[in-house]
């Protein structure tokens, strides 16, 4: 060929070498050979098969369909992938199938399912029961609404409930607190130091029916708080001529052992029922009713003229 050059070997014989003239400079040509010295033909494709005979059949770079993509094999002895490079932690590829991953192809697909479901939510006819360290997806009701349960501490509906008892507590179990202690809104009123149940009309007993010969003094509390008060005295028996006088009083807020009078009834000298009334706007009647507010701390007093035995009861109505 025109580009070939002739040289002398060590024995002085002429040897012709294949060369390529590039810019008036001859460059030797190299030929690939196998282990026997036979020439190896230049490959025309990545995989020489009946259907893949030229470079034009190699898939183009970029995303494509499976049929147009090159297959890649990962080494079977590939080391586990660390969560963070250089950090000694559990290996991603060594992770076990997470809860809920049964039926998915591979642990990665199961994890992906959990991540996407957690952001969307799921409906379960039976709510999951979790233990320490487990996570759960958002729970939905059958209509797709997010299930939310408000829970709080267990407080008995009694008077003088402390402020701290009305705050919610941490839920530590699935059934003992979360299921059995739903938060119920109950009307309470603050009395200045504690909370008390809000009431409607309240009836109570100051003195049960009994024979008495001495003066009486009994406290009772307006928990409602009511603005009107009826006190009912019912005399049912006596041992002779008698005279007893009912008095409705209120306790001094500062001098708590002292009282001031709201209404003094007329002396009772015979069996029968006597009703004393106190409240704003009530028609005033001497020794029977008074137009006044009803304080919180009340007292009923019964004075006597002598030691004659008289059987009576005292009850009240707050409204």
* 224 vs 11: CA distance, rounded Å: 130
181 neighbors 172 (Cβ within 8 angstroms): no
β-pair type (289-290, 310-318): unpaired
Q: Residues near 157 by Cβ (< 8 Å), separated by ≥ 6?
A: 186, 197
Dihedral of alpha carbons 187, 192, 194, 197, sign: negative
Residues 89-139 pLDDT 10s: 445 555 555 555 555 555 565 565 556 554 567 888 888 888 888 877 788
Tokens of 281: 């706007």
pLDDT of residue 179: 46
Domains and CATH numbers, the chain: 202-318 (2.60.120.380)
In angstroms, rounded to a whole number, what is the distance separating the alpha carbons of residues 234 and 220? 18
Digitized pLDDT (tens) for each residue of the chain, 319 residues in all = 566 778 888 888 888 877 887 877 877 777 777 767 677 776 655 555 655 555 455 555 556 677 767 666 667 666 655 544 555 544 555 555 555 555 555 556 556 555 655 456 788 888 888 888 887 778 888 888 888 776 555 666 666 666 555 554 445 554 444 444 445 566 777 777 888 777 778 999 999 999 999 999 999 999 878 899 999 999 999 999 999 999 999 999 999 899 999 999 999 999 999 999 999 999 999 999 999 999 999 999 999 999 999 999 999 999 9
CA–chain centroid gap for 231, Å, is: 48
Global confidence as pTM: 0.49
**Rounded distance between C-alpha atoms, residue 113 and residue 158, angstroms:** 49
pLDDT of 317 reads 96
The C-alpha atoms of residue 284 and residue 101 are separated, in whole angstroms, by 81
Show the DSSP H helices in 48-200 as ranges: 106-120
């Amino acid at each position: 060929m025109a580009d070939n050059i002739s040289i002398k070997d060590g024995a002085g014989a002429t040897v012709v070498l294949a060369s390529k003239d590039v810019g008036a400079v001859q460059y030797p040509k190299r030929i690939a050979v196998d282990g026997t010295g036979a020439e190896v033909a230049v490959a025309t494709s990545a995989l020489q098969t009946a259907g893949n005979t030229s470079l034009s059949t190699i898939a183009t770079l970029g995303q494509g369909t499976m049929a147009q993509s090159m297959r890649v094999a990962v080494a079977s002895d590939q080391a586990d992938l660390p969560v963070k490079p250089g950090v000694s932690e559990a290996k991603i590829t060594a992770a076990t199938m997470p809860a809920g991953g049964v039926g998915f192809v591979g642990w990665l697909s199961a994890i992906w399912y959990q991540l996407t479901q957690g952001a969307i939510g799921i409906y379960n006819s039976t709510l999951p029961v979790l233990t320490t360290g487990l996570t759960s997806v958002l729970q939905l009701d059958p209509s797709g609404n997010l299930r939310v349960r408000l829970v709080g501490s267990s407080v008995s509906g009694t008077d003088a409930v402390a402020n701290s008892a009305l705050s919610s507590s941490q839920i530590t179990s699935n059934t003992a607190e979360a299921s059995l202690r739903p938060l119920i809104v109950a009307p309470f009123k603050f009395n200045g130091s504690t909370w008390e149940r809000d009431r409607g009309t309240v009836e109570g007993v100051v003195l049960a029916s009994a024979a008495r010969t001495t003066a009486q003094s009994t406290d009772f509390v307006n928990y409602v708080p009511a603005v009107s008060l009826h006190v009912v005295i019912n005399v049912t028996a006596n041992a002779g001529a008698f005279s007893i006088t009912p008095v409705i009083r209120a306790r001094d807020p500062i001098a708590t052992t002292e009282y001031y009078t709201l209404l003094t009834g007329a002396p009772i000298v015979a069996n029968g029922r006597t009703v004393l009334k106190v409240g704003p706007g009530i028609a005033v009647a001497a020794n029977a009713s008074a137009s006044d507010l009803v304080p919180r701390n009340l007292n009923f007093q019964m004075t006597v003229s002598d030691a004659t035995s008289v059987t009576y009861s005292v009850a009240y109505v707050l409204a």
